[in-house]
Amino acid sequence: MNGLPPDPAPRRALCSFPVWLVGSAFAALIVLLSGCGAVAVPVTDPFGLDEAQVRLELRRGPPLMSLAPAAVDGSGQVTVAFDDWDTPDLPFQPGRLANELTVATADLDAGADDAPAKITLTDVDVDVWLWHGAAEPDAAAQTVHVRLSDLGPITLTRGACTADACSYSYGGGAPAFGNLQVTGSAFSTAYTIVTQAPEPNRVRVAVTVQAEPEDALDGRNLTVTLGAEKGSIGF
């Protein structure tokens, strides 16, 4: 079940405080840290997206001003279901939910003779919908939508190949798709969805990209496996 690991420890504070603050002073410490935005508790895969696969169909778009495009267009989406969390026992009132989204692996339906050594993704947009109580988000009483836009460049490097497919890896230091964050009224709705009935919860991810090199990728499918294990809940 998705949710908090047993007895999670708060992340290291980013601001200083007296080491003698213990016991009854804990509440004051929480207030102090909240002003720094420093209290956050790890949450494993908060939106159920870890290892979800998005198949991007890569197709050459129409020429612009009689010039061939420099990249192919790619788009795809996936919807997954997950159960409610165990209601966390937190020493503070939460107000922010975050989830790092990255590329765990990627696979191109082209063998070693045709697959490029590197794939570059630019102009990346990621839309995420979270809801429950209906098959589609438009029919749900409670829905949260978050967009991460204008991401990239994301460079994927070719690894092992078979006769008709090659795997790719992402080696960047930062999450490829950034940090999905839900705050304010959207957090209240999201928190209700992931901790209260009805189940299952559903999350949909839609991804659009520009991909290069165009000649090698036109007509291909790139299946991206998401890495979304690292999440947190905080002030």
Task: Tell me the per-residue pLDDT of 197-231, one tens digit each, with 9 for 90 and over.
Answer: 999 999 999 999 999 999 999 999 999 999 999 99
CA–CA separation, 164 and 110 (whole Å): 5
Tell me what pLDDT residue 39 has: 75
Cis peptide before 88 (omega within 30 of 0): no
H or E element that contains 233: strand 230-234
Tell me what pLDDT residue 98 has: 96
Q: Mean pLDDT over all residues of the chain?
A: 84
pLDDT exceeds cutoff 70 at 19: no
Contact call for residues 44 and 231 (beta carbons, < 8 A): yes
CA–CA separation, 209 and 158 (whole Å): 18
Tell me what pLDDT residue 27 has: 42
Q: Any bridge partners for residue 69, and if so which? A: none
Whether residue 207 is contained in a domain is answered as yes
pLDDT exceeds cutoff 60 at 168: yes
Q: How many Cα atoms are found within 13 Å in the side-chain-facing hemisphere of 163?
A: 0
CA–CA separation, 207 and 177 (whole Å): 10
Whether residue 210 is contained in a domain is answered as yes
Whether residue 12 is contained in a domain is answered as no
Tell me what pLDDT residue 192 has: 95
CA–CA separation, 170 and 112 (whole Å): 18
Give me the domain span that covers residue 129.
44-234
Percent of the chain past pLDDT 70, that is, above it, reads 80
223-to-2, 52, 53 alpha-carbon distances in Å:
24, 10, 6
180, two tokens = 């999905």
Checking phi first, is residue 214 left (phi over 0); if not, alpha (psi -120 to 50) or beta? alpha
Whether residue 18 is contained in a domain is answered as no
Band of residue 64 on the pLDDT scale cut at 50, 70, 90: low
Tell me what pLDDT residue 86 has: 85
Tell me what pLDDT residue 70 has: 76
Whether residue 216 is contained in a domain is answered as yes
Band of residue 5 on the pLDDT scale cut at 50, 70, 90: very low
Tell me what pLDDT residue 67 has: 57
Whether residue 69 is contained in a domain is answered as yes
Provide mean pLDDT across the span 101-124.
Answer: 97
Lowest-confidence pick of 55-59, 60-64, 132-136, 152-156:
60-64
Q: Any bridge partners for residue 167, and if so which? A: 107
Band of residue 165 on the pLDDT scale cut at 50, 70, 90: very high
Provide mean pLDDT across the span 142-153.
Answer: 96
- Nearest to 151, CA basis, from 131, 122, 130, 128: 122
79, two tokens = 């919807």
Whether residue 172 is contained in a domain is answered as yes
CA–CA separation, 124 and 169 (whole Å): 17
Q: Any bridge partners for residue 72, and if so which? A: 211
Whether residue 38 is contained in a domain is answered as no
Length of the chain: 235
What is the number of domains present in the chain?
1
Tell me what pLDDT residue 223 has: 98
